[in-house]
A and B are shown apart, each in its own frame.
Chain A
Amino acid sequence: MASMRDIKRRKESVASTGQITKAMKLVSTVKLQKAKARAEGNKPYFTMLYDTICSVLGRTGTIDHRYLKANDSTRKAVIAITSNRGLAGGYNNNIVKEIVAQCDPKETDIYAVGKKGLEGLLRKGYNIVEDYSEVMNDPLYGDAIHIGKNVLASYENGEVGEIYLAYTSFKNTVVQEPKLMKLLPIDVEEIMQDVEIDVLTPMNYEPEADEALDMIIPKYMNNIIFGAFVEAVASENGARMQAMDSATKNAEDMIADLSLKYNRARQGAITQELTEIIAGADAIS
């Protein structure tokens, strides 16, 4: 059996770790509230943008647009959104796994947002084109525009044929789901299912519908990227909150276990001492 001093030291170390995890849990709870509000603030804009895209596509029925059909390149661009800090359970690893499962390392260009994902994907042999990790600390709409523009440029000059976005979608505080979503070319058939064409209000476009699509689709993309940022931040904090919560619980369990062991060892030591004293006294008399 471990000595009393060892057990005591162990117990103290577990207790201080438990304190840290508890503090981290509280911090991420607060951050989660903020991130959640931000993610919800983006919803009205996103819904309206999506509706507009639907109605433009529904009314014009164009399928010949360059953003709607794939170009010749077989390469994929993946925007991988993870976090800069660990200790968030499987949060970062799930994104890496999702990408590994669906994209071939040789045929994929990674635009990394978040250090942890970048490191993980680098180890798996993916080609990292750009690193925007600092964005994750405080994602702004301008960042989404910037990244969107760069990725779109490589799509337009034919370096990549498809653009994907890997992020963790925030279902609720306890459920976060890693997702790999296709940004471009836009899946027209999927959108068509959502379209309710009301024939009564024909729409005019200024400039022409094709040109309008040219300008609306990049905005749509930017907004999805931004939406993914804010959702990912919420998910990160949700995941961290859960991970730290279970870490705190485990620490408490360990402390209870170690206290029991410590008391038993102390009792054992006392009993042994007593036995020795009695034996000594017996020997003298």
Chain B
Amino acid sequence: MADSMKLKVVAPERIFYEGDVSFLEFTTTEGDMGIYPNHIPLTAIIAPGVLRIHEAGEVKEAALLSGFIQILQEEVTVLAESVEWPDEIDANRAKEAEIRARRRIEEGSGVDMNRAELALKRALIRQSLTR
């Protein structure tokens, strides 16, 4: 049994990450997931969350905000619409976005509720990584 799988994280403008990993954590629309090599084939939709890449004793974290993931036995591909390393995140901007989103939620203008909540979630995830 293989103890590592190939991971490819592709963003629209660049290849974000490419390498062998032993374990991978991420968030899908159905909840948090962690996968080891030899997982059953699966396609899932990404929900905003933290992507944790476990490679040879080292854990790398990134903010993975939208996209989807395709899992094959020895190969995992993440098609990320939005993905950032912690050092690429602007903490102040994320803080501002959080405040903006909170205000919008308090005003409670029905239609944009989902959007505001998503924005809040994104802001919180970004901030959790910069700390």
Contact = CB atoms under 8 A, between A and B. Distances in A.
Q: Do A and B bind each other?
A: yes
Given A44-B15, A45-B79, A48-B79, A204 B10 contact: no
A44 B10 CA distance: 7
Interface residues of A, number: 25
Contacts, number: 67
Contacts of A49: 79
Contacts of B79: 45, 48-49, 52, 219
Given A49-B79, A222-B81, A42 B13 contact: yes
Interface stretch (B36-44, B84-92, B99-107): B36-44
Contacts of A42: 12-13
Contacts of B43: 52, 56, 203-206, 212
B4 interface: no
Interface stretch (B19-27, B56-64, B65-73, B122-130): B65-73
Given A41-B14, A222-B81, A202 B41 contact: yes
A216 interface: yes
B43 to A, nearest CB: 5
Contact of B10 (A38, A45, A207): A45
Which 7 pairs of residues, A with B, have the shortest CB-CB distance?
A206-B44, A204-B42, A45-B10, A141-B12, A203-B41, A215-B45, A45-B12
A52 B13 CA distance: 18
A52 B78 CA distance: 11
Contacts of A92: none
A48 B67 contact: no
Contacts of A223: 12
B12 A52 contact: no
Contacts of A206: 28-30, 42-45
7 contacts: A52-B43, A52-B79, A141-B81, A204-B43, A216-B45, A219-B67, A226-B12
Interface residues of B, number: 25
A52 B80 CA distance: 13
B68 A52 contact: yes
Main secondary structure on chain B at its contact with chain A? strand
Interface of A is mostly: helix
A87 interface: no
Interface of B: 10-15, 28-30, 40-45, 66-68, 70, 72-73, 77, 79, 81-82
A207 B12 contact: no
A145 interface: yes
A193 interface: no
Contacts of B13: 38, 41-42, 45, 141
Contact of B68 (A38, A41, A215, A226): A215
A102 interface: no
Contacts of B73: 201
A99 B118 CA distance: 37
A215 B29 CA distance: 11
Contacts of A141: 12-13, 81-82
Interface string A204-241: 11110000100110010011001000000000000000
